[in-house]
Chain A
């Protein structure tokens, strides 16, 4: 197995602003498949800071192998995500390390699997699973090259995610600015005037009111503003 110069070049050519994050991630999975000639399919699982995971596949079979591991909570990918280390499934049938995952995977034709941790800034951000199901002649994985690919892919994915976060924030800020409703701010001001207090106290006061009324901040703000007309 060789990591082609092409694969290396393309990983370092990822423009974070050209595509949506998920499309960039799919490109990385596709690139892994085309970069290793012993690899027949790729599954990639990415985990974000909130623990939510997203999956990417190059084909249905790889998707099924990933799903099997998740279903049995057993297999190289599961162990890799847990520990941040490389794990594999060797092309042998005796002495299986993955008692739940290996038998059904073997029946489905899997010969070998290599799960590579994706690590950026010290945190495990996912796992890249290389699957092999050749009819004959599996040559084995070049673990070091595969590890280098995963390390470079981790950097590209983490960078693309950093940029994607800025775009989410921009959309959110634009939406907040576009919404004409400033009821919460007005309620903060009204509370300041009514109770002759500072903005900080007024902000806490409105949050307490929302709690007391078992309502949202918006609901509490409406009640404050409505009460202005009462006196």
Chain B
């Protein structure tokens, strides 16, 4: 549910309109990357992200933005079903936006590195976070309302990111596309063979 608009609506609307106008200006570039802006009506935007690198191309996810109170508040961002705009539950997410990050080295007994060498540990971490499979997950990223509203991120206030454009439409789409769509290289197919009976070489007379 959208929060109440308490910022002067003209201000939020003007900033929202700028986001949409700039997007429209380069829409053909974005379309080639598989971004389809299907609805933009203040304060909501729905963009469908497809993977044009696949053949046939596939729709990966919808992304719903809510720019209520922008940019006093960052936008809300949800991954949603592309045709119903219903937010995905964690268990139904088509992508969790997995990213590689450098992680602290765990203690490895007996590990001896040559002089001057350093071990780098890379961990994989989803940007979509939730507490359970039936929760609506949130995008754990500075510039997103759900991130800044989370008590675990009270030390990383929106005001620290506001001037860098962290909540801008294209920036958020770039991030979702980078981790959720661009890495897709092919369809993953699982086949489950079932024994349906016996085949016979011939039917004896």
Please say whether chains A and B are actual partners in one complex. no
